[in-house]
Structure 1
Amino acid sequence: MKKIFKFSLITAVVLYSIYFILNITGVLSIYNNSTVANEPNLKMNSKILISNLINPINGDFVSFKFEDAKFGKAVRIFRLCGKENDIIEIKNGVVFINNENRDKDVNFIHNYFLTSNNYQNLALNEKQHYISISQFINNDSLIVSIDDNFANKKGFGHKRVTEKDTDKNIKSIFKHDWNKDNFGPIKVPEGKVFLLGDNRDNSEDSRYLGFINFSDIIGTVLFNN
């Protein structure tokens, strides 16, 4: 019995030591996703496996170091949507990289204009989906965040809301009359990347933060549960 206990203890110590080394070097790290910014593809409170051995390409989720006056130092995760010298443009909410539609065949979350009855039916019958109220218009209508596949399935795809007016926060960073849905074209500077959340209308990403230093990327997301 003592031998079994000793063997189990040694095994546990060895495994922990290996994990500690992998984690401290960034070869393999585990993070808890504490935000809805990448729903529906990275679920809130899911565990995410990250490695710095993978050189990310456009479309990969990456983690990066970020610091601001409001939250201090943090690790954030967004989708890589532009590396240095890429041309980024968002037209009516669709992202283009070097004139190629990169949103095609990916399920994002956007805002949709629904009647109150539409929303009540969704809220009651489709609880497994991400459904969040963004804005009440009046007693009969509201804007709701739902994933695109679900919106199309329910026949709401044509009711997607896109911003037309200038966003003063985006203008303060990029000095153009752009907004989250109509942005660019702009070339990604050397040593920088452009990152976006999959919850496109509820994500403080590069549209609001500016370009991110490539050197601040910690690793590429390998797996999430």
Structure 2
Amino acid sequence: MFTNRKTAIIFTAFILFLIIIKSTGLFNWYNMVTNTMEPAIKKHSNVFVSNLFKYDNNDIIVFEDKYFSEPVIFRLIGKTDDKIQIKSGALFVNGKKVNDENKLPEYKVPRGLFFQIIESEKIFHSYEPAQLTYIDTFRVAAYRNYAKSLNLEELIYDKSYEEKEIEETYNKKWNRDNFGPLVIPKSKLFVLGDNRGNSIDSRYFGLVDIEYVKGKVLF
């Protein structure tokens, strides 16, 4: 009887401890509901977050935004006064080209080859409705080395390609691969998804308010 009571007390205390640290943001957990951060974080993975740690560019953060119905997870690219620009798919921060090793590029894949590699673990977000032109070309996000081994051409939009959602947000004729320059105002953040060609991020929904950041992803 004593053992059962002691166990119940310990269990209750543990649950209360979890509630406290979760409600204060000291330690929290969230589910990755999209493929935006592949391959770093796969869809349906759980991430553990804390607001005890400072975050900086290239860290992965969790935040709330009116654009989404629940907290979301993205990589932090720019903070207050940083100048962000994307030129032909290449990311620049404060005039310096970023070693964008986390980026998952998107490639053009001929129809015949697409059906040969569709089950490969080295490609992401690949499905038949993702056709690019007519019925003979598909768009596939893939690891760089794998794409290089297949001699695939990276899909980069030129400046003439219009994306109305970006234009509505920034009142500029930018697109996902030709964006900015944009200087981040005070108390705002600019975020991108690693799965760059399949990510609705700050290029589309705008800047993130610092006050809505829940914390930094630890693992």
TM-score, normalisation: structure 2:
0.90
Q: Does 1:162 align with 2:156?
A: yes
Question: What is the one-letter code of the residue matched to 2:154?
Answer: R
Q: Does 1:112 align with 2:107?
A: yes
Runs of 4+ in 1 over 4 A off after TM superposition: none
Equivalent position of 1:83 in the other structure: 79
1:176 aligns with 2:149: no
SS in 1 for 2:118: helix
Does structure 1 retain, via aligned residues, the 8 Å contact 2:104–2:141? Answer: yes
Structure-2 separation of matches of 1:59 and 1:86:
13
In structure 1, give the amino acid aligned to 2:94: N
CA distance in 2, matches of 1:192, 1:149: 35
CA deviation after TM superposition for structure 1 residue 203, in Å: 1.2
- 1:199 pairs, out of 170, 183, 195, with 195
Structure in which a larger fraction of residues adopt strand: 1
Name the residue aligned to 1:61: 60
Structure-2 separation of matches of 1:144 and 1:128: 10
Q: CA deviation at 1:87?
A: 0.6
**Structure 2 residues without counterparts, runs of 5 or longer:** none
**TM-score of the aligned structures, taking structure 1 as reference length:** 0.88
Aligned residues, how many? 215
Structure 1 residues 5 and 60, CA gap change in structure 2 (3 angstroms): same
Question: Are the equivalent residues in 2 in contact too, given 1:96–1:103 (CA < 8 A)?
Answer: no
Deviation of residue 26 (structure 1)?
Answer: 0.5
1:19-30 paired onto structure 2 within 5 Å: 19-30=18-29
Moved more, 75-84 or 110-119: 110-119
Task: Give identity over the alignment, percent.
Answer: 31
Task: Give the root-mean-square deviation of aligned CA atoms.
Answer: 1.8
Measure, in 1, the Cα distance between the counterparts of 2:145 and 2:64.
32
Does residue 16 of structure 1 match 2:15?
Answer: yes
Q: Is the 8 A contact 1:123 1:131 kept in 2?
A: no
Q: Distance in 1 between matches of 2:149 and 2:100?
A: 16
Amino acid at match of 2:217: V
**Which has the higher mean CA deviation after the structures are superposed, 59-68 or 8-17?**
8-17
SS in structure 1 of the partner of residue 169 of structure 2: helix
Which residue of the partner structure matches residue 147 of structure 1? 143
Deviation at 1:36, TM superposition (A): 0.8
1:45-74 CA-partner distances (Å, limit 9, x unpaired): 101101111121000111111114xx5x42
Please identify, of 44-53 and 165-174, the stretch whose mean Cα deviation from structure 2 is larger: 165-174
Q: Deviations over 1:66-93 (max 9, x none)?
A: 114xx5x421111100000001011111
Q: Return the offset for 1:119.
A: 1.1
Secondary structure at the aligned position of 2:42 is classed as coil
